[in-house]
Amino acid sequence: MIQVAKGLEGVVVADTALSHIDGENGRLIYCGYDIADLAHGATYEEIAHLLWLGHLPNRAELSAFSAKLAGYRELPPTVIDTIRMLPATADPMDVLRSAVSALGATRHFSGAVSVDHAMELTAAMPTIVAAFDRIRRGLKPVEPRSDLNHAGNYLYMLSGEAPSDQRSRALDTYLVLTADHGLNASTFTARVIASTLSDMGSAIVGAIGALKGPLHGGAPALVLNMLRSIGKPENAEPWLTAALDRGERIMGFGHRVYKAEDPRSKVLRQVAERTSEIDFFRLAIRVEDVALRLLHERKPDRRLYTNVEFYSAAVMHGVGLPDDLFTPTFSISRTVGWTAHVIEQLKDNRLIRPAAEYVGPTGLTFVPLDRR
């Protein structure tokens, strides 16, 4: 009998030197470095350098690298035109996917994939999201600034005002924490596309499509909806109890890989405390405490803990992002990881072509159309 691994769970399909998830012990490693150390000490630009080039940069390397990355932020007119043609009511992830496709058609990411391709796509993502958000609000897109870092420039292009250091650093920490995460659905999608020798732009378009799904990248906005529905700390226990009684999933808890607390949630909890309004943070803390107790009581064998989405919602809300930009902002972060995996895939490529067990009928007799 063929053993079918639903969802490819437990199936190893690639070697990677980019990130490692120790689900049993709640650890995440980028290129040998613990995520907590990186989140507290490194910027997103340093993480990009690490994942693309294999080492953390020194000061001179980082300065040159950051300047080159910032130089790719401006969008071609054809991409802006594409964004303008889409409805203001469009899902921002649909706009992002379409605009990246337009960028790929304009820039022609053909030939061997390169770090330059990765840089251009990574730099363009915040500009695309911010441009659409302003256009849908009837405002003119804000030109990027080369003197701000990746996170700060994104916030600036959304509002037209330079963000505070606290907001910029909070978002930068979020970007660091979510830049890569093993062979998740969107990263696997990018590697599958890359394995066909398609271009980098196509791989990222596919990854965006995978991340759009609520089982992958759409959860932070659902967490925020839950917190708003609960409203006050004293409502947490009756609301969560009723939801579990109805068989509903409590958003922001449990993970396919982690059997301990998601290490990213520990850092984001600290960031949320600094960036969220006091009442909102108290609500989040109360909901987390009650949810964990109820989940452990009702599902003791499931090992359900707080995941990255729970406090991601609090952080992105705290820095002022609209709810429907949470998943596009996740895409902005993950582009570094996606492109790093594309580059890695093509260093020792083999077309990814899994098999499927056929379970349909056999032995049927064909009947011509005029006799059916």
pLDDT, one tens digit per residue, over 210-219 is 999 887 887 7
Outline where DSSP puts E strands in the chain: 19-22, 27-30, 33-34
Split into its structural domains, the chain has a count of 2
> Nearest Cα to 328, choosing from 85, 96, 157, 89?
96
Rounded CA-CA distance 189/314 in Å is 28
- Among 150, 255, 317, 341, the one annotated catalytic: 255
What is the pLDDT of the chain when averaged over all its residues? Answer: 93
State the average pLDDT over residues 94-98. 98
Task: Decide if 97 contacts 121 (C-beta within 8 A).
Answer: no
Rounded CA-CA distance 364/280 in Å is 62
Per-residue pLDDT tens digits for 264-289: 999 999 999 999 899 999 999 999 99
State the average pLDDT over residues 289-293. 94
Per-residue pLDDT tens digits for 61-86: 999 999 999 999 999 999 999 999 99
pLDDT, position 316: 94
pLDDT for residue 54 is more than 70? yes
Angle, CA 192 vertex, CA 265 and CA 57 arms, to 5°: 55
| CB proximity list for 1: less than 8 A, separation 6 or greater | none
CATH number at 298 reads: 1.10.230.10
pLDDT for residue 104 is more than 60? yes
Q: Which domain holds residue 106?
A: 19-216+330-347
Task: Decide if 223 contacts 251 (C-beta within 8 A).
Answer: yes
pLDDT, position 254: 79
In a domain, 268, yes or no: yes
pLDDT, position 170: 97
Based on the fold, state whether residues 47 and 156 are members of the same structural domain: yes
- Among 117, 309, 317, 344, the one annotated catalytic: 309
Q: How far is CA 18 from CA 12, 72, 92, 338, 339, in A?
A: 15, 24, 29, 11, 11
Confidence band (pLDDT; 50, 70, 90) for 1?
Answer: low
Based on the fold, state whether residues 132 and 237 are members of the same structural domain: no
In a domain, 33, yes or no: yes
pLDDT, position 149: 97
pLDDT, position 372: 94
pLDDT, position 114: 94
pLDDT, position 109: 85
Based on the fold, state whether residues 79 and 159 are members of the same structural domain: yes
Based on the fold, state whether residues 32 and 178 are members of the same structural domain: yes
Rounded CA-CA distance 91/133 in Å is 11
Based on the fold, state whether residues 155 and 303 are members of the same structural domain: no
State the average pLDDT over residues 139-154. 97
State the average pLDDT over residues 247-255. 86
| CB proximity list for 253: less than 8 A, separation 6 or greater | 291, 292, 295, 304, 305, 306, 307, 310
pLDDT for residue 222 is more than 90? no
Q: Lowest-confidence range among 116-125, 251-260, 284-293?
A: 251-260
State the average pLDDT over residues 317-330. 95
Per-residue pLDDT tens digits for 18-48: 999 998 888 999 999 999 999 999 999 999 9
Based on the fold, state whether residues 194 and 246 are members of the same structural domain: no
pLDDT for residue 2 is more than 70? no
- What is the amino acid identity at position 196? T
Rounded CA-CA distance 196/256 in Å is 28
In a domain, 122, yes or no: yes
Confidence band (pLDDT; 50, 70, 90) for 166?
Answer: very high
In a domain, 211, yes or no: yes
Query: Would residue 309 show up in a list of annotated catalytic residues for this protein?
Result: yes
Based on the fold, state whether residues 72 and 147 are members of the same structural domain: yes
Query: Would residue 255 show up in a list of annotated catalytic residues for this protein?
Result: yes
Rounded CA-CA distance 160/249 in Å is 38
Per-residue pLDDT tens digits for 184-197: 999 999 999 999 99
In a domain, 323, yes or no: no
Based on the fold, state whether residues 268 and 335 are members of the same structural domain: no
Percent of the chain with pLDDT over 70: 99
DSSP per-residue string spanning 100-156: HHHHHHHHT--SS--HHHHHHHHHHHHHHHHHHHHHHTT-PPPPP-TTS-HHHHHHH
| CB proximity list for 262: less than 8 A, separation 6 or greater | 26, 255, 305, 306, 307, 308
pLDDT, position 93: 97
pLDDT for residue 325 is more than 90? yes
